[in-house]
A and B are shown apart, each in its own frame.
Chain A
Amino acid sequence: MEDKEYLCIIGPSGCGKTTLIKCIAGIIKPDEGEIYIDDRIVNDTPIQDRGIGYVFQEIALFPHMSVYDNICYGPFVKGLDISSAKNLINEILNMLELWDRVKDPPSILSGGAQQKTAVARALTSGSRLLILDEPLGSLDAKVRRVLRYELRRLVKDLGLTAIHVTHDQEEAMSIADRIVVMRSGEIVEIGTPLELYLRPKNLFTAHFVGEANFFIGDLLGEEDEGVKIDVNGNILYIPCKPSFEGKKVVLAIRPEFIIMKKTNGLKDAWRGMIEKITFLGSSLRFEVCTENDIMVIVKNPFSSEALGWRVGDRVNLVLSRDSLLLYPYPKEGLEKAISIE
């Protein structure tokens, strides 16, 4: 991890993401291996001397203290004079707009305000590294969406380094500089949000970071600069060479990258019929069954054309070559390989 980076760790529950950050914070000791903070090995440094600000999933504000006393706890236990830390405390209170709540006990605050207080508390001890464990998990969806941007802004404005753990891939993508995808205790992939979304190197990432269609196909052979693949009788051309052995492959494509047209005779198009339309608010989701019985999910943003589609309409799907992703067929089977539970 680099200085001043906002890193998100995502993965399904039980993938070990919380254990990982607890090891970093010193709450759990690793059985093997070393942890370095600022190039210094910290395996035997106790929690209180690591200088990490930690925001807990349970929020864990001290219920017997006021919001202000909670926020001052860091400087207080270090025996610092509160007045010397005053500037930092005031700055943080200003940024989080908590001034009118400072005298209240935490229990009467709304979830959002509690979480802000927890963040403020973690920052006043002067930590340059902030660890956030599902900081927004206990909040309403709408509040969550507002607060995540506030979090990022705070971290960037104060020039901190942050590790943010979440199971919500949308949250991670919208605020992270880089994302670590974890699954059963291992890192699956690391990359910027855009890399993970557009060019995931791993099947699981493709599935976990946003929706994707998966097709099982057979490698037919090379052609020009790419390969031809047979998916249930439909032939697709991909302009790149596979880096793996084996004939059986999996193709993936995001539903919003599929172009749906009424006009026949398009090159590489799959013909099919709309079976179901779901309203998603800012877009529509179609389930299309192709002539050779492949279920394809297509997401189209509103356009005058999309609004006109009805169930039963015959359509042509264009799977653009550049957005198709090619993977070897996993040994454990496709369903196992992408399963979240």
Chain B
Amino acid sequence: MRRQRAIASENVRLRLIRKIDDFSAKNLVKCAVYASSIIFFFTLILIPPIAGILENIGKLKTIYYDPSLLTSANLAIINSFTMAFTVATLDLIAALPLAWFIVRSKMKIVNFIDVLVDIPFLIPTAALGYSSLLFWSSQDGISRIFGMETLIPPGFALVLLLHFAFSYPVIVRVMVGELLTYREVYEVAARTLGAQPFTAVRTITLPLLKPGIIVSFLLAFARSLSETGATVIAAGNFENGPVFIFKNIDKVGEGALVYVSSVLILASTIIFFLIKLLAPSLKFPIKRAFPSIERKLSSYEVVKFRDGATILVFLIIVVAPSLFIALPVLSALLDGTVNEMVAGSELWNVFWRSMLISYAVGSISTLMNVVFGLPAAVLIARRKLGRATSIFKALVSIPIIVPSIALGVSLKFFWGKYGFIPEFWVIVFSHTTITYTYFVESMSAAIEGIPVEMEDVAGTLGAKPFTIFRRITLPLTKYAVFSGAILVFTRALGETGAAKAVVRTKEFQTLPVLLVDWIINKRATSSQSALGIGLYIISAFLVLLALRFIIRERRR
């Protein structure tokens, strides 16, 4: 009986797979899948922000009637780019040696540091901002050691430290990946030719790693440019583009918003592609060699000193401010705030509702991006669009470049026209837009990593497109799909800027928007804020842990 049933169920399965297989082999179907993903990209990702701004471009002139507003808007925009450039440069200098240390050192401590690097990634930036604020500026933080009220008051310096901390892991992660795939034989070859280790790195390894260095620089740049929630918390009187929009979104006319958003979008896109085009022609200084100096620079003591300094900077400026939040959270757990939360109050009801909204928004936009992003990733990785592939790829990268709050403003205008779309969905669409790039780019890189031959061979063995995808492409990129999805999810969960811009009614505030509001407008006590942030971090952490656990299981 059981055997028969098993055979019957296998028959059903086989028939189903064969149906899908035959279906997938049809050219029409293939085209339809790819076309739908392209349509999705244009209608939901690319066109809304552009259209939103363009339709309201006429409102620009209103800002000219308010010269003082124009001045502060311009200053904010310039501040944004100065900050992003400074942060990315400093991060590159400080993070590259750490990536080096992680890949090349044989010490046991490496594993521990490797885990620590991800911490600023795992903590939503709004929480990170609060943590930094407490660490550097409050009297409970590091200021106490120096016997000062506040060591670094909110303002430019604090924002710099904050941005340095959350952009740092981006560079480490990218460069660790680059260094792992770098063929060390070039460096060894240089050394067999008599080059000191330092010389070999300067003249061979770094020039060869240039593409990776540029990519990591740009990512750090974009991250600093885009971040809103934490910056608002740490800004004080300092104003950059996102802070300007955040503070003024409900106060000033739409003219100023359109102005700042459009300039931010345009300028960031232009600068991004300029760097991308021009940076490869930057030359490393490889025309001369200084054997005796470089021999000293390669010596054991100098290398030890460099590693030590790198780790110290990493621990003090990146790890400590990120983890500091644990202390206030602990004290909030002990001082009775928990009881108040459990008892329930208006404040906490709003909190739980926001959390629910955040998770719903995160999951739905992740799902949408996975479904429609996968075919787009295949299109890019396998260059199915021919010469247009590079253009498509460039377009796909735009949402990551542009400050998310500026995107949010234009999306707010765009979706605002369609009053019949529920606010919840507008929020979902906006989060989908700003996270799209993360999934498609990581996925297409993973698919590129599979030799095309593998799929070709599967084809000659009789596998139809669907079976090839199901049994070869997907299993080999499964890990990338999950980690791409996690990236999208955490990014959506942590987004403050875009959410702030599109949320119209208080009922639909996402968690980061609510928490930032609590902190900067002092709507909650510091204890309540700390507890809220603690719950936010812990819940995000648990979800991540659960997802990772699932992946681990699946990978077996």
Chain A residues with a Cβ under 8 A of chain B: 25, 27, 46-54, 56, 58, 60, 62-64, 73-74, 76-79, 121-122, 125
A11 to B47, CA, bound (A): 63
Contacts of A125 in B (CB 8 A): 193-194
Report B164-197 CB contacts with A as 1/0, cut-off 8 Å: 0000000000000000000101101111111111
- Cα distance A50–B200 in the bound complex, in angstroms: 16
Q: CA of A52 to CA of B292 in the docked complex: distance in angstroms?
A: 20
When the two chains form their complex, are residues B189 and A56 in contact, meaning their CB atoms are under 8 A apart?
yes
Contact indicator B191/A47 (Cβ below 8 Å): yes
Query: In the complex the two chains form, is B193's CB within 8 Å of A122's CB?
Result: yes
User: A74 to chain B: which residues have CB within 8 Å?
Assistant: 193-194
* A54, closest chain B residue (CB): B192
Among the interface residues B183, B192, B196, which one has the most CB atoms of the partner chain A within 10 A? Answer: B192
**Pair A58/B188 contact, Cβ less than 8 Å:** no
Count, A-B residue pairs, CB within 8 A: 73
Distance of A23 Cα from B189 Cα, bound (Å): 14
Is the Cβ of B194 less than 8 Å from the Cβ of A58? no
Minimum CB–CB distance from A60 to chain B (whole Å) comes to 5
Q: Is B188 touching A47 in the complex (CB atoms < 8 A)?
A: yes
| Nearest CB of chain A from residue B217's CB, rounded to whole Å | 19
Is B527 an interface residue when CB atoms closer than 8 A count as contact? no
Chain A residue at minimal CB-CB distance from B199: A77
Ranked nearest first, the 6 interchain pairs of A and B with the lowest CB-CB distance are A77-B195, A54-B192, A74-B193, A47-B191, A79-B291, A60-B185
Partner of B192 from A25, A62, A63 at Cβ < 8 Å: A25
Among listed B110-118, B201-209, B254-262, B486-494, interface-contacting one: B201-209
Which residue of chain B has the shortest Cβ distance to A47 in the bound complex? B191
Given known pairs A63-B208, A77-B289, A78-B291, the reply for A27 and B188 (CB within 8 Å) is yes
Cα A49 to Cα B197 with chains together (Å): 11
Chain B residues, Cβ within 8 Å of A62? 186, 189-190, 204, 208
Query: Which chain A residues lie closer than 8 Å to B203 at the CB level?
Result: 73, 77
Q: In the bound complex, what is the Cα–Cα distance between A54 and B188 (angstroms)?
A: 9
Known contacts A63-B208, A77-B199, A79-B289; is A53 also within 8 Å of B192 by CB? yes
Cα(A47)–Cα(B184), bound, Å: 14
Assembled-state Cα–Cα distance A49/B193 (Å): 9
Known: A60-B183, A64-B207. 8 other contacts (CB 8 A): A46-B197, A51-B194, A60-B185, A60-B186, A62-B186, A62-B189, A62-B190, A62-B204
Q: A58-B185, A78-B289 are in contact. Are A73 and B192 (CB under 8 A)?
A: no
Given A27-B188, A63-B208, A78-B289, A73-B193 contact (CB < 8 Å): yes
Docked CA distance A47–B196 (Å): 9
B420 at the interface (CB under 8 A from A): no
Asked if B289 contacts A76 (CB within 8 A), the reply is yes
Taking CB atoms, residues of chain A closer than 8 Å to B189 are: 54, 56, 60, 62, 121
15 contacts between A and B (CB under 8 A): A25-B192, A47-B188, A48-B191, A56-B185, A56-B188, A56-B189, A60-B183, A64-B207, A64-B208, A73-B190, A74-B193, A76-B289, A77-B195, A122-B192, A125-B194
- 1/0 per residue, CB under 8 A from A, across B420-458: the answer is 000000000000000000000000000000000000000
Residues of B contacting A47 in the complex (Cβ-Cβ under 8 angstroms): 188, 191-192
Identify the closest chain A residue to B202 (Cβ): A77
Nearest CB on B from A150, distance (A): 21
Q: Which residues of A contact B188 (CB under 8 A)?
A: 27, 47, 54, 56, 60
Chain B proximity of A58: nearest CB distance (Å): 5
> Which of B183, B191, B193, B207 lies at the interface centre, i.e. has the most chain A CB atoms within 10 A of its CB?
B193
Within 8 A of A (CB), among B198-229: 199-200, 203-204, 207-208
Query: Does B290 reach chain A (CB closer than 8 Å)?
Result: yes
Question: Chain A residues near B185 (CB, 8 Å)?
Answer: 56, 58, 60
Report chain B residues within 8 Å CB of A49.
Answer: 194
Smallest CB separation, A283 vs chain B (Å): 37
A78-B289, A78-B291 known; A48 vs B207 contact (CB < 8 Å): no
Per the bound structure, the CA–CA distance linking A63 and B203 in Å amounts to 12
A48 adjacent to B196 (CB under 8 Å): yes
Specify which chain B residues have a CB less than 8 angstroms from the CB of A73 in the assembled complex.
Answer: 190, 193, 195, 203
**Contact mask B319-360 → A, CB, 8 Å, 1/0?**
000000000000000000000000000000000000000000
Q: Are B192 and A77 in contact (CB under 8 A)?
A: no
Judge whether B186 and A48 touch: CB under 8 Å. Answer: no
Chain B residues, Cβ within 8 Å of A27:
188, 192
**A301 CB to closest chain B CB, in angstroms?**
41
In B479-505, the 8 Å CB interface with A consists of: none
- Contact with B194, one of A25, A48, A56, A60 (Cβ below 8 angstroms): A48
Min Cβ gap A115→B in Å is 13
Q: Which residues of B are found within 8 Å of A76, using beta-carbon distances?
A: 289
B residues in contact with A121, CB < 8 Å: 189, 193
Minimum CB–CB distance for A176 against chain B, Å: 22
Q: Which residues of A contact B195 (CB under 8 A)?
A: 48, 73, 77
Tell whether, in the assembled complex, residue B196 and residue A77 are in contact, meaning their CB atoms are under 8 Å apart: yes
Question: Which residues does chain A contribute within 8 Å of B204, judged by CB atoms?
Answer: 62
Cα-based distance from A238 to B289 in the complex (angstroms): 67
B193 touches A77 (CB 8 A): yes
Task: Please name all residues of chain A whose beta carbon is closer than 8 Å to the beta carbon of B207 when the two chains form the complex.
Answer: 64
For the complex, give the distance between the alpha carbons of A243 and B292 in Å: 60
Question: In whole angstroms, how far apart are the Cα atoms of A27 and B203 in the complex?
Answer: 19
Tell me the bound Cα distance from A50 to B188 in angstroms: 13
CB distance from B430 to the nearest CB of A (A): 43
Instruction: Give the distance in Å from the alpha carbon of A56 to the alpha carbon of B190 in the complex.
Output: 11
A47 to B200 CA separation, bound complex (whole angstroms): 12
